């Protein structure tokens, strides 16, 4: 058995609504890939049960971090 992130693997289309304007938050990928100026000596550990994604509102640009619960396949 393996735990995978449903968003990374496009199993589920998870949609979040912006707190700010009610717009749709769009997945921008895992936080590790999104933050490229992250210091090399501060690696972000992959969470065992969660995948941390960045979502950005397509209307107002509001950014939100969401922990995606990994599913067992």
- Footprint of Zn ion on this chain (CB under 5 A)? 5, 7-8, 18, 20-21, 23, 51, 57, 59-60, 62
Q: How many residues does the structure list for the chain? A: 73
Tell me the closest approach of the beta carbon of residue 37 to Zn ion, in angstroms: 21
Toward Zn ion, which CB reaches closer, 11 or 21? Answer: 21
| Strand, coil or helix: 35 | coil
Angle (nearest 5°) at CA 11 between 10 and 17: 75
What gap in Å lies between CA 62 and CA 64, rounded to an integer? 7
Please report how close the Cβ of residue 40 comes to Zn ion at its closest, in angstroms. 22
CB of 20 to Zn ion, least distance (A): 4
């Amino acid at each position: 058995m393996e735990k995978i992130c449903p968003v990374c693997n496009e199993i589920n289309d998870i949609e979040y609504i912006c707190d700010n304007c009610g717009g749709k938050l769009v997945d921008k990928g895992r936080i590790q890939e999104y933050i490229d100026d992250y210091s090399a000596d501060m690696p972000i550990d992959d969470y065992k049960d969660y995948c941390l994604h960045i979502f950005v509102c397509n209307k107002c640009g509001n950014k939100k971090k969401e922990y995606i619960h990994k599913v067992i396949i």
